[in-house]
A and B are shown apart, each in its own frame.
Chain A
Amino acid sequence: MKSDTRKVLLITPSVVVAKGLESIFGDLGEFEVAGILPDVGHASESRLRNMEADVIIIDPTVFSYPDRKNGRSWLADNSNAAAVALQTTLTDDEILRQYDESISLFDAPTTIIRKLRTALEGRQETPKSEGEELSGREKEILVCVAKGMLNKEIADQFNISIYTVITHRKNITRKTGIKTVAGLTVYALLNNLIDVNSFE
């Protein structure tokens, strides 16, 4: 197997669809299926977190109807892979727009590959983080995390995308070695990034 093969995670309840995509990737190369999740339940969530996928292909109907519009941010909370919607039924445009691309059951195999490539290319806004010291922006975001703000709220405050927030958070954890919100709060307090007295 080539090492530059992109890893794809499928989230679909349909074995037929999963096998179909697997066989397309098998024929055309470049992508390979690294995992298949049948739903977005609790167990799938933890598997998603532990999986290093480059692209996720997801059937938005795995989310219940009211949750569907938050599907993309649920994925972003658990993975920073590009996300491609797989249309198996008529899907609201608003839902599809959240995703980096969308493919349909009737797309030709080469079209699917092309769309996956586009989705990956569209995801290069990753903030680069050099050195081991926290940058100014990272410190600002750390303070928000320590105060208990959600990714969405932080994104709104700094006018950046939720994915950028997640990347900053990953860099913060990599640099400090601290993973939990409670731990980051202790870090922020000990380093006087937040005032201990104001925090109660």
Chain B
Amino acid sequence: MKKHQNDPDARLLTGNMKLADLLDLNYNLLGVLTRTGLRFGFGDETVEEACRKCGVNAQTFLLICKVYTFAGYMPSSNVLRTADLRDIVGYLHQSHSYYMDIALHELADSIERMLAPCDDRHKKVIWRFFTAYKEELSEHFRYEEEVVFPYVLGILDHVENKDFAIIQYEENHTNVEEKLGDLKNIIMKYLPKECDDRQISVVLFNLYLLEMDLEKHTAIEDDILIPMVNRLEDHEK
């Protein structure tokens, strides 16, 4: 995927448009809406008005929406200057909670329904794989929550931390998509014939949704969080 700056399409998303129109443009933004703290019942408010009412930085919200809407969107450094790093960290944190507390639970429920007709041995094999994936993801988030985010917030408060720099995160930002891809392939291609097709589609739909969301989540970390922190680190020196 080619990354490009200042995509003309990205300028279509502005603070003056109605929030309802924004969601109509890309329903994948529904998750972003709730995770940033915006509430439904916004009537005909514009993005800016709705954000102001809920205490959300409209520039940050729009930036996240652009990452979700335009494949390969790379914000320019000018755009990054208008975003609020605290809001980005807050959003990433909310997303972690969403994945662990909601998305994975919904996925697990759908997998349980799908596996209901299978024999116990097959159930066990797939559950064990799913559990390992969940643990891997949770470990990945825990590192960000316990090491990376406190470090970022520390820089904002000018707390000196000689033991860590964002480059360490950049280099160790592990890939958590492999197991998810495997799970997708296993479910799509190799499940026992007893499984109900409708239930399989539900699980696959959940997996695709999660995969897309995690991909955007990683893009926000790599293309927004890291460059913003890099700039701050240079300032601190």
Contact = CB atoms under 8 A, between A and B. Distances in A.
Q: Dominant SS at the A interface?
A: helix
Interface string A170-182: 0000001111101
A182 B190 contact: no
A190 B129 CA distance: 12
A31 B172 CA distance: 31
Contacts of A176: 185, 189
B41 to A, nearest CB: 43
Main secondary structure of the interface of B (DSSP, over half): helix
Given A42-B171, A182-B132, A196 B185 contact: no
Given A177-B185, A196-B125, A190 B178 contact: no
B186 A179 contact: no
Interface in A133-185: 176-180, 182-183, 185
Interface in B182-227: 182-183, 185-186, 189-192
21 contacts: A176-B189, A177-B181, A177-B182, A177-B185, A178-B185, A179-B182, A180-B178, A180-B182, A182-B129, A182-B179, A183-B129, A183-B182, A183-B186, A185-B125, A185-B129, A186-B125, A186-B129, A186-B190, A187-B186, A190-B192, A191-B190
B126 interface: yes
A197 interface: yes
Contacts of A187: 186, 190
B121 A197 contact: yes
Interface residues of A, number: 17
B189 A43 contact: no
Contact size range, B: 20 to 34
A127 B191 CA distance: 29
Nearest to B183: A183
A189 interface: yes
B142 interface: no
A122 B172 CA distance: 35
A179 B185 CA distance: 10
Contacts of A191: 190
Contact of B182 (A43, A178, A197): A178
> Which residue among B124, B181, B182 has the maximum number of chain A CB atoms within 10 Å of its CB?
B182
A178 B186 contact: yes
Contacts of B132: 182
A190 B172 contact: no
Contacts of A189: 121-122, 125
B135 to A, nearest CB: 11
A179 B171 CA distance: 22
